[in-house]
Amino acid sequence: MTSTVHTLALSSGNLDVTVEDQGHGRPFLLLHGGGGPQTVGPFAGLLADERPARVVTPVHPGFNGTARPDWLTDVPTLARAYAHLLDALGLTDVTVVGNSIGGWIAAELALLGSDRISGVVLVNAVGIQVPGHPPTDVSLLTPAELSALAYHDPAKFAVDPSTLPEAARAAMAANRATLQVYSGPHAMEDPTLRERLTKVTRPALVVWGESDQVVDTDYGRAYAAAIPGSRFEPLHHSGHLPQLETPTELLDLIWEFTETQMTRRPTR
């Protein structure tokens, strides 16, 4: 696994993006949620080790101590940055996998219509508005309260910040502050996204941990219903972060989805 910094030239200015790159084979862009890149790190390793896959995992600028320029304040802009990253890396037939706000970014990437993207997998994604099923405003929760809502088995996966070094606690606080910036004025919702998703032309798989109380299963089904031709797959014994609680089951779903798209793709 290698970690590199790519400088992307965007219309708003230059952007440095730290990227972990591992494995060989079919390319995957793996987008983390508000908990930071550590929430997808083990799954990236699993995918790269267990399948012929090249897994590219960027750190959203502002997370884990990375720099975020003042002009980068929303998910659509970040999605455009990652489209530039795929250009810079020269990747094609990319499957984009995003969890939580990473799923929102993946949805915006799908809407850009890049020829480099072959499909998207949204894992307990946020971003749309569903009447009666708003995403939980995690900024109002203590870490213990968030864990109780996010995990099927909080006792197994929750982290007690009081047991962490001061530097780690500061990093967690900084990540939460960055998440607030990207989540926008509507607390993890874009009032326009659900309608815009009808224009997605890339194949999509929506995977949902059924025990999620941050964004519930009805929210997930509404996400899938908004994307033409998408498939919805619930995961038992899993909450908001299936890549941590049920990684093998998630891996199987993602790989089956990717193989299906490969077999359906016309010969060039």
Give the rounded percent of residues in the chain with a pLDDT score beyond 90: 83
Q: What is the pLDDT of residue 139?
A: 82
pLDDT higher for 231 or 166? 231
Least trusted range by pLDDT, from 55-59, 160-164, 216-220, 241-245? 160-164
Band (pLDDT 50/70/90 cuts) for residue 194 is very high
Contact call for residues 227 and 206 (beta carbons, < 8 A) = yes
pLDDT greater at residue 173 or residue 193: 193
Nearest residue to 201 (alpha-carbon basis) of 229, 232, 233, 224: 229
The rounded Cα 29 to chain-centroid distance in angstroms is: 9
Res 187: pLDDT: 86
User: What local confidence, expressed as pLDDT, does residue 158 receive?
Assistant: 77
Query: Which parts of the chain fold into alpha helices (H)?
Result: 41-50, 75-89, 101-112, 143-150, 154-157, 166-183, 193-196, 217-226, 242-245, 247-264
Structure token digits, residue 137: 């405003």
Greater confidence (266 vs 114) lies with 114
Mean pLDDT value across the chain: 93
Q: Which of 11-15, 142-146, 192-196, 253-257 has the lowest mean pLDDT?
A: 142-146
Radius of gyration in angstroms for the set of CA atoms belonging to the chain, rounded to a whole number = 17
pTM of the predicted model as reported, rounded to 2 decimal places: 0.95
pLDDT in tens, 38-94: 999 999 999 999 999 999 999 999 999 999 999 999 999 999 999 999 999 999 999
CA distance 22 to 19: 10
DSSP character string of 152-177 = SSHHHH---GGGS-HHHHHHHHHHHH
